[in-house]
Amino acid sequence: MATALSVYVGKAVSGESYYSGSVISRQAFTVTVEAIDGGRLDTNYNGWVTIYANSPTNDRAFTIGSVYLSNGRGSTSATISSVYDQNSGRKITVADSAGRSASISVGVWFQGRATVFNAGSASYCQGTGHGAPPANYVALPGYGLCKKSVVLLIQEIKRLRLGKSGM
């Protein structure tokens, strides 16, 4: 049998269930690549593999790293900072100089903090006819807001104690 490549990206967001892997935007994640022959690790494979992220039209549009496979296996860190249009993920493709390749689709999550927004239309979809938003709002989760959808995943809930004991 011929050697093939395999790529793995873990789950940075445990609640993510749509994609095989998930990453958090602008945070390093681990890409693991293996050379597989007949369903087993090909320990005779040694060489460089290039790691790509897709664009809307090309699966190998952006080089985001490379990894050296020693005895058929290698891992490295990479980062992704964006998604395209309303897509919530990106495709990661690995390829070697012999033309072997493998891909995985990963969900890309954006980490942030809820805060107070001031009233005014400067940051609210100008030109869309929405008007000025009310003061002190958080628009999450939002579906179809300014032609975009946002889903909120809360992994940890902390209690905030306000005032004195007994209030």
What's the Rg (C-alpha) of the chain?
21
Tens digit of pLDDT for each residue in 63-83? 999 999 999 999 999 999 888
* Of the candidates 108, 86, 78, the residue with the CA atom closest to the CA atom of residue 18: 108
Coil/strand/helix, residue 37: strand
Q: How much is the pTM?
A: 0.71
How many C-alpha atoms does 87 have within 13 Å on its Cβ side?
A: 14
- 110 pLDDT tier (thresholds 50, 70, 90): confident
Neighbours of 77 (CB within 10 A): 12
**What does the alpha-carbon distance between residue 13 and residue 98 come to, in Å, rounded to a whole number?**
34
